[in-house]
C-alpha cells in the first residue's frame, strides 16, 4: 500500500489533470511452457584453446607443445589425442600435428554450437501481444483481494506460435544473463515449435484515474513505479477503462455525495454565519450571472452591463476570500495516511477513527510503531469498524494485543455500510473522506472519485462529532453468548455396562 501511495504522490497531476483515484489493478498474464529449437553454444575450454593456438603458431610436436604450455607430457598427449579424435587436429606422415577445419572454426568462433530441443517458460502479455520480461506474477488466489481483476475477454486464450517473437525471447534472455555467466554456455532460440502448456497468471499494476477541468476522466497504468503509456493506450483500445467503470458516474457514488453533503453543512465559528453550502451556492449563481453578462457584452457594449459585471466580480472576490478563510482544507486522495500520522503524532488526549475491516496492506510496521508510541503517551484511541469480521483476520489480533498495552478500544458498528470515514483527534481536528484510514474500500472494488476535507475549527468539529461520531450501546454489535439450560446442573447417572457371559 505504501508503494501505491508513493506512486500517487508522484503523479498527483499530469498535463493539467488532477488525480482523483488510484487502486491496484491485476492484469492478466500467461505463463507459457513452449517447445523450442535452438543452438547450444559452448565456449572453448582453456587447455583446448591453448593447444590449438600452439599448433596454429607452428608448434607441431607434442613435446614442444607441452613444454610451451608448461603441462605434464602425459596429460598433454592425452589432450592432443582427444583433439585428434574430435577432428580438431590431425597428423601428417611424419607424426606432426596439423590444425584441421573444425579446429580453425572453433578458434574463429570462440566456441561450438550444436542444435538441440528444449522446453522453456515464457511470459506472454495478452493485452499488448508481446513477450514480457521477468516480472512477479501471481495466481488468482494469491493476487490479493484488495485489488481489481481486469475483466478482459479471452485474456487466457493461447497465442499462436508465430506471435512469439524469437528476437524478443533472445533479447530478454541476453538481458537476464549476468556478467559472471559470460564464460558459461549460452543458448540461442531459433524457432518456437509449439506451446505445451498455458497457465493463467496476474501481474500487479496501479490504475490512476485523473479528472480534467471539464470533469472528463482519463485512465493511466503505472508499472514498476512509472506510467506505461504504450500499455495505457492498448488498454484504452480494448475498452478496459469502461469495463472497470471509469466514467463520469464516478463522481456520483454514494460515498462521494455523502462527503460533499457533510462539507456543505459545515458551519464554522459560533454558528451565526453562513454555512459552506450557502457560500458555494451563491458563488455558483454569481459565476452563472457573469457568463450571461459576458455573452451579452460580446454582442453589445452597454454601460449598465459593464457596471453589473464589476458588481458581480467584486462580490465573487469577496466570496472567494471568505471561503479561503474557512478552516476547511480539501484533502487529496493520497493524503489520508498523512493526516492519520498527524493524529497519531500530535494527539494529546483522544483519537477517534472509523474504518472498514483493518487491512494488512495498511497496518504495516510503521503504523503499529506509531500506534504503540501514541498509546504509551496515554492517548485514548477508539476504533469503530463499519464492517463484519473476516475469517482469521491477523490485523484484529494485532489490535487486541495493542489494547492490552494501552487505552485502545475496538468496536464493531451495527451499521456496516458506512460510506464516510473519519479521523478525529483532541476534539479540535477532523478529516472525513470516502477512504477508510485502516481498511480497504468495499468489495466489489470499483473506481470512485475521492472526496475528503480536513477541518481545524474547534466549534465546527464539535458540531460534526455531535452529528456523526456519537455512538450509543445500541449502535454496537453485541457478542452473543449461549443460553445455559436449567437442566445443565442436573447430573445424569451413567449406566453400568452388563457383563457378557
Whether 311 is in a domain gets the answer yes
Q: 32: which strand partners?
A: 122, 198
Q: What integer is the mean pLDDT of 454-459?
A: 89
Query: What's the total number of domains in the chain?
Result: 4
CATH of the domain at 84: 1.10.10.10
Same domain, 100 and 142: no
Same domain, 147 and 19: yes
In this prediction, residue 178 carries a pLDDT of 52
Whether 64 is in a domain gets the answer yes
In this prediction, residue 95 carries a pLDDT of 83
Same domain, 204 and 277: no
Nearest to 419 by CA among 452, 460, 462: 452
In this prediction, residue 110 carries a pLDDT of 76
For 200-245, the pLDDT digits (tens) are: 999 999 999 998 887 788 999 999 889 999 999 999 999 999 999 8
Nearest to 426 by CA among 369, 343, 357: 343
Q: How confident is the model at residue 177 (pLDDT cuts 50, 70, 90)?
A: low
Same domain, 158 and 205: yes
CATH of the domain at 368: 3.30.870.10
Same domain, 466 and 388: yes
Q: How confident is the model at residue 431 (pLDDT cuts 50, 70, 90)?
A: very high
Nearest to 82 by CA among 41, 52, 109, 54: 52
Same domain, 371 and 460: yes
For 370-398, the pLDDT digits (tens) are: 999 999 999 999 999 998 876 556 788 88
Same domain, 104 and 136: no
Q: What is the pTM of this model?
A: 0.74
In this prediction, residue 270 carries a pLDDT of 54
Same domain, 297 and 354: no
Whether 120 is in a domain gets the answer yes
106: part of which helix (H) or strand (E)?
A: helix 101-109
322 CA to centre of own chain? 40
pLDDT at 4 over 90: no
Whether 489 is in a domain gets the answer no
pLDDT at 325 over 70: no
pLDDT at 148 over 60: yes
Whether 372 is in a domain gets the answer yes
pLDDT at 427 over 70: yes
In this prediction, residue 461 carries a pLDDT of 92
For 269-311, the pLDDT digits (tens) are: 655 556 666 666 677 688 778 888 888 888 888 888 888 888 8
- Determine what percent of the chain is predicted with pLDDT higher than 70: 88
Question: What are the phi and psi torsion angles at 404 (to 5°)?
Answer: -85, -10
Whether 242 is in a domain gets the answer yes
| Pairwise CA distance, residues 87 & 155, whole Å | 53
Same domain, 235 and 339: no
Beta strands in 44-129 (DSSP E): 89-91, 97-99, 111-125
Q: Kindly report the CA angle at 311 between 306 and 315, in degrees rounded to 5?
A: 150
| Pairwise CA distance, residues 336 & 2, whole Å | 12
Whole-Å CA distances, 340 to 326, 335, 411: 22, 9, 19
**Burial (0-12, 13-18, 19+ Cβ within 10 Å), 423:** buried
Whether 285 is in a domain gets the answer yes
Contact 152, 134 (CB under 8 A): no
Same domain, 397 and 412: yes
**Domain carrying residue 410:** 330-475
Q: 476: which strand partners?
A: 413
Among 307, 326, 345, the domain boundary falls at 326
Same domain, 193 and 130: yes
| Pairwise CA distance, residues 71 & 48, whole Å | 12
Whether 261 is in a domain gets the answer no
Q: What integer is the mean pLDDT of 419-438?
A: 94
pLDDT at 323 over 80: no
DSSP letter at 473 equals G
Contact 284, 454 (CB under 8 A): no
Same domain, 163 and 233: yes
DSSP letter at 435 equals S
Whole-Å CA distances, 230 to 25, 169, 235: 16, 19, 9
pLDDT at 131 over 50: yes
Residue listed under C-alpha cell 475483466: 151
Q: What integer is the mean pLDDT of 4-14?
A: 87
Contact 88, 106 (CB under 8 A): yes
| Pairwise CA distance, residues 462 & 319, whole Å | 25
Amino acid at each position: 500500500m505504501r508503494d501505491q501511495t508513493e506512486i500517487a504522490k508522484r503523479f498527483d497531476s499530469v498535463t493539467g489533470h488532477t488525480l482523483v483515484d488510484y487502486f491496484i489493478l491485476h492484469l492478466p498474464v500467461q505463463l507459457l511452457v513452449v517447445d523450442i529449437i535452438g543452438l547450444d553454444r559452448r565456449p572453448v575450454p582453456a587447455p583446448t584453446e591453448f593447444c590449438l593456438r600452439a599448433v596454429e603458431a607452428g608448434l607441431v610436436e607434442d613435446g614442444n607443445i607441452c613444454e610451451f604450455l608448461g603441462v605434464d607430457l602425459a596429460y598433454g598427449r592425452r589432450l592432443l589425442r582427444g583433439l585428434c579424435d574430435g577432428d580438431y587436429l590431425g597428423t601428417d606422415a611424419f607424426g606432426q600435428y596439423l590444425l584441421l577445419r573444425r579446429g580453425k572454426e572453433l578458434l574463429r568462433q570462440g566456441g561450438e554450437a550444436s542444435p538441440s530441443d528444449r522446453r522453456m517458460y515464457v511470459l506472454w502479455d495478452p493485452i499488448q501481444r508481446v513477450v514480457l520480461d521477468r516480472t512477479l506474477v501471481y495466481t488468482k488466489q494469491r493476487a490479493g483481494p484488495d485489488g481489481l481483476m481486469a475483466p478482459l475477454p479471452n485474456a487466457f486464450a493461447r497465442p499462436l506460435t508465430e506471435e512469439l517473437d524469437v528476437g524478443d525471447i533472445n533479447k530478454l534472455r541476453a538481458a537476464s544473463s549476468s556478467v559472471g555467466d559470460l564464460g558459461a554456455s549460452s543458448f540461442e532460440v531459433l524457432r518456437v515449435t509449439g506451446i505445451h502448456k498455458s497457465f493463467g497468471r496476474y501481474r500487479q499494476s496501479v490504475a490512476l484515474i485523473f479528472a480534467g477541468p471539464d470533469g472528463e476522466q482519463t485512465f493511466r497504468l503505472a508499472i514498476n513505479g512509472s506510467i506505461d503509456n504504450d500499455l495505457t493506450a492498448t488498454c484504452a483500445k480494448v475498452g478496459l477503462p469502461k469495463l472497470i467503470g471509469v466514467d463520469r458516474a464516478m463522481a456520483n457514488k454514494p460515498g462521494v455525495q455523502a462527503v460533499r453533503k457533510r462539507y456543505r453543512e459545515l458551519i464554522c465559528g459560533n454558528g451565526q454565519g453562513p454555512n459552506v453550502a450557502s457560500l458555494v451556492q451563491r458563488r455558483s449563481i454569481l459565476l452563472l450571472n457573469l457568463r450571461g453578462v459576458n455573452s451579452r457584452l460580446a454582442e453589445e457594449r452597454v454601460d449598465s452591463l459593464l457596471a453589473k459585471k464589476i458588481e458581480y466580480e467584486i462580490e465573487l472576490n469577496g466570496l472567494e476570500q471568505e471561503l479561503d478563510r474557512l478552516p476547511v482544507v480539501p484533502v487529496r486522495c493520497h493524503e489520508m495516511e498523512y493526516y492519520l500520522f498527524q493524529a497519531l503524532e500530535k494527539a494529546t488526549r483522544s483519537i477517534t477513527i472509523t474504518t472498514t475491516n483493518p487491512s494488512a496492506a495498511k497496518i504495516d510496521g510503521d503504523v503499529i510503531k506509531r500506534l504503540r508510541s501514541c498509546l504509551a503517551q496515554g492517548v485514548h484511541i477508539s476504533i469503530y469498524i463499519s464492517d463484519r469480521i473476516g475469517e482469521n483476520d491477523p490485523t484484529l489480533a494485532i489490535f487486541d494485543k495493542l489494547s492490552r498495552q494501552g487505552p485502545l478500544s475496538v468496536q464493531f458498528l451495527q451499521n456496516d455500510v458506512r460510506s464516510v470515514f473519519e479521523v478525529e483527534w483532541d476534539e479540535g481536528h477532523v478529516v472525513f473522506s470516502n477512504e477508510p484510514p485502516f481498511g480497504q474500500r468495499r468489495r466489489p472494488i470499483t473506481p470512485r472519485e475521492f472526496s475528503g476535507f480536513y477541518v481545524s475549527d474547534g466549534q465546527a468539529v464539535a458540531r460534526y462529532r455531535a452529528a456523526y461520531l456519537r455512538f450509543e450501546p445500541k449502535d454496537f454489535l453485541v457478542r452473543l453468548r449461549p443460553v445455559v439450560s436449567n437442566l445443565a446442573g442436573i447430573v445424569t447417572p451413567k449406566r453400568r455396562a452388563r457383563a457378557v457371559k
